[in-house]
């Protein structure tokens, strides 16, 4: 009878020990966030050939609430860095990334056997982003097109430059969302929109680059009148 009375307790203790073994101690590294800015979560990153930026990696503990364990801003060499395609972008011991050629790669930061990843797209170099036509006059109900082209210093078209369409607070009220989307588009591209109501706005196109000083922008004033 005694044995039967203590068996449930032994079972519970065994289960608790097994759970702790599977989940690990509360201060164990459970997640690594990687980014070029805030590393709390990972998202796509974008650079241009010749650009450099530094990985921001943060390691978080298990449990709730999760706590910050390591930060590459304070201890850059606590982490081990790598690039899945070093020909596209290399990364050194301090997490400094150098964009070498157009393409995509996966950047990794590892600590305590846990790895965080950051997808990186490298665009070819361009010196200007053009929108054609450079202004639009249309009327409600009309569909129109705007071509987006990136060019180098010689004026030659540069394909594969990644850009997004800026969202103005009044923009979508005056025109439709481009059929092609508003984010992670590549040059050359043609955006198709439809005028929805009377008003004046600017369509803004900006290259997706982490370094704001290197971003290229084109802006198109759009005037929509009554039919």
- For residue 2, the model assigns a pLDDT of 32
* Domain membership flag for residue 18: no
Q: Are residues 76 and 141 in the same domain?
A: no
Q: Are residues 95 and 140 in the same domain?
A: no
Task: Examine the fold and report which residue of 93, 123, 153 is the final residue of a domain before the chain moves on.
Answer: 123
Is the predicted pLDDT of residue 39 greater than 80, yes or no?
no
CATH number for the domain that contains residue 168: 2.60.40.3450
Is the predicted pLDDT of residue 7 greater than 80, yes or no?
no
Task: Give the mean model confidence (pLDDT) for residues 16-39.
Answer: 66
Q: What is the pTM of this model?
A: 0.76
How many domains are contained in the chain?
A: 2
pLDDT > 70 fraction of the chain, expressed in percent and rounded: 84
Q: Please report the DSSP string for the chain in residue order.
A: -HHHHHHHHHHHHHHHHHHHHHH--TTSEEEEEEESS--SS---EEEETT-EEE-EEEEEESSSS--EEEETTT-GGGSEEEES-TTTEEE-TT-EEEE-SSEEEEEEEEETTEEEEEEEEEEPP-SEEEEESS-EEEETT-EEEEEEEEE-TTS-B-TT-EEEE---TTHHHHBPPPTT-SSSEESSEEEEEEB-SSEEEEEEEEE--SSGGG--EEEEEEEEE--
Tens-digit pLDDT profile for residues 102-134: 999 999 999 999 999 999 999 999 999 999 999
Q: Are residues 205 and 149 in the same domain?
A: yes
Q: Are residues 113 and 134 in the same domain?
A: no
Q: Are residues 115 and 163 in the same domain?
A: no
Is the predicted pLDDT of residue 14 greater than 70, yes or no?
no
Residue 52: give the domain boundaries: 24-123
* Domain membership flag for residue 19: no
* Domain membership flag for residue 12: no
Task: Give the mean model confidence (pLDDT) for residues 80-94.
Answer: 98
């Amino acid at each position: 009878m005694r044995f039967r009375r203590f068996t449930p307790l032994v079972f519970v203790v065994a289960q608790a020990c097994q759970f702790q073994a599977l989940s690990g101690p509360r201060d164990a590294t459970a997640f690594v966030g990687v980014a070029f800015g805030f590393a709390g979560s990972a998202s796509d990153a974008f650079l241009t050939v010749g650009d450099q930026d530094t990985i921001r990696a943060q390691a978080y503990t298990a449990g709730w609430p999760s706590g910050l364990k390591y930060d590459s801003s304070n201890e850059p060499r606590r982490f081990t860095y790598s690039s899945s395609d070093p020909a596209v972008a290399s990364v050194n011991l301090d997490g400094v990334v150098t964009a070498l050629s157009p393409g995509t790669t996966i950047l990794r930061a590892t600590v305590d056997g846990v790895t965080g990843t950051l997808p990186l797209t490298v665009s070819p170099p361009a010196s200007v982003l053009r929108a054609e036509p450079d202004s639009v006059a249309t009327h409600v109900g009309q569909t129109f097109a705007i071509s987006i082209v990136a060019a180098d210093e010689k004026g030659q078209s540069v394909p594969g430059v990644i850009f997004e369409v800026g969202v103005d607070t009044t923009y979508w009220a005056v025109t439709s969302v481009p059929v092609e989307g508003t984010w992670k588009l590549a040059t050359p591209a043609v955006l198709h929109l439809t005028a929805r109501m009377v008003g004046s706005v600017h369509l803004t196109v900006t290259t997706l680059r982490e370094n704001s000083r290197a971003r290229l922008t084109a802006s198109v004033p759009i005037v929509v009148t009554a039919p």
